[in-house]
């Protein structure tokens, strides 16, 4: 979109210089880190594009990508069901092409439309998991083009446009409320915490996650325990695992559904350090999570 904006508006060298400075500034800390640590980030990016991307399987059928992934995300943002999303996407595409052919599109709409289309094609060939986190930028564009479609309908069918706008607002509100209701996992995590305090009264706990498959449960529980001063890296060991990854040899304590995932709480006091490591149990105490995500580079051998 930035390139299209420059090509279509040409703001001048002075504005372009300021724009370049604003664009470069956020990357300066990363560049400084790389200079001081053997070009870690840049070398990993190069390694991914040369080798890493070919070591993972990504389903890349256009039919699945364009016919399932995007309609599902469109429906989630707008609050409608997927069949309705198919209809809205088709109408937006047809209206956009018609107005482009008639040369009635404004420069901002040309920039948004072609920029989004370029991003969609690029993401199709990007070898990574089809995660909604990669396309969160598209949420305002979905609302924008849905509203633009309604404005196009309004020119000829006012009552229909008002009805469509009402449905869009209602659907979006419904989607937001539904999403928000699924986010509150605290009651289930509190039940885990109460179960633990009754299971081992007076003890502090070290929470482990199996293979990082249930971090929504394990890290949340660890944070709640820390809030109650019941967390310790050397405390009574307990593990969180989902059904398919739970070894049956450990005593079962409790189970809760957290964010749609069935999480099992098990007693790891009988496990020795070799079992913990070989079975893929990872300590997720607040201090350890901070070390893994923020201060990992301080102990990374290749950076020393």
- For residue 235, what pLDDT is reported? 93
Same structural domain, 148 and 109? yes
| Listed residues 38, 55, 72: the one ending a domain | 55
**Is there a domain that residue 224 lies in?**
yes
Identify whether residues 70 and 175 lie together within a single domain.
yes
- pLDDT at res. 149: 87
Q: Is residue 303 a part of any domain in this protein?
A: no
- Residue 8 has a pLDDT of 64
Assigned domain for 87 exists: yes
Q: Which residues of the chain fall short of a pLDDT of 70?
A: 1-9, 11, 175-176, 178-183, 301-304
Residues 242 and 203 grouped into a single domain: yes
Are 76 and 176 within one domain? yes
Clarify whether residues 285 and 203 are in a common domain: yes
Distances (CA, A) of 170 to 100, 241, 267: 30, 38, 46
Vertex 68: Cα angle to 67 and 71 (nearest 5) = 85
Residue 199 within a domain: yes
Structural domain tally of the chain?
A: 3
Q: Residue 301: inside a domain, yes or no?
A: no
Asked whether the whole model's pTM tops 0.85, one would answer: no
Q: In angstroms, what CA-CA distances link 50 with 30, 54, 122, 213, 281?
A: 21, 8, 17, 28, 31
User: Do 25 and 118 share a domain, yes or no?
Assistant: no
| pLDDT of 209 | 94
Last residue in a domain, options 183, 212, 241: 183
Could you tell me the residue range of the domain that residue 78 belongs to? Answer: 58-183
**pLDDT for 37-92, tens place per residue?**
888 888 888 888 888 877 777 777 888 888 888 998 888 887 777 788 888 899 89
């Amino acid at each position: 979109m930035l390139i299209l904006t420059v090509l279509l508006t040409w703001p001048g060298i002075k504005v372009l210089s300021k724009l370049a400075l604003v664009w470069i500034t956020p990357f300066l800390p990363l560049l400084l880190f790389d200079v001081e640590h053997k070009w870690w980030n840049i070398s990993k990016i190069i390694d991914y594009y040369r080798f890493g991307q070919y070591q993972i399987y990504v389903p890349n059928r256009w039919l699945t990508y364009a016919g399932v992934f995007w309609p599902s995300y469109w429906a989630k943002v707008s609050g409608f069901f997927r069949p309705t999303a198919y209809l809205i996407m088709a109408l937006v595409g047809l209206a956009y092409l018609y107005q482009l052919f008639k040369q009635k599109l404004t420069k901002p709409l040309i920039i948004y439309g072609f920029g989004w289309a370029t991003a969609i094609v690029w993401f199709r060939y990007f070898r990574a998991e089809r995660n909604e986190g990669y396309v969160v930028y598209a949420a305002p564009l979905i609302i924008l083009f849905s509203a633009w479609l309604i404005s196009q309908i309004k020119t000829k069918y006012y009552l229909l446009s008002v009805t469509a706008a009402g449905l869009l607002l209602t659907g979006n509100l419904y989607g937001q409320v539904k999403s928000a209701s699924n986010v509150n996992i605290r009651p289930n995590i509190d039940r885990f915490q109460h179960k633990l305090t009754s299971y081992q009264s007076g003890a502090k706990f070290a929470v482990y996650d199996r293979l990082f498959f249930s971090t929504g449960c394990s890290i949340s529980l660890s944070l709640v325990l820390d809030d109650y001063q019941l967390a310790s890296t050397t405390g009574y060991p307990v593990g969180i695992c989902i059904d398919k990854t739970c070894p049956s040899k450990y005593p079962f304590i409790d189970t809760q559904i957290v964010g749609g995932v069935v999480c099992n709480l098990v007693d790891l006091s009988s496990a020795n350090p070799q079992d913990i490591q070989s079975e893929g149990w990872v300590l997720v105490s607040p201090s350890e999570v901070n070390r893994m995500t923020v201060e990992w580079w301080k102990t990374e051998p290749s950076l020393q």
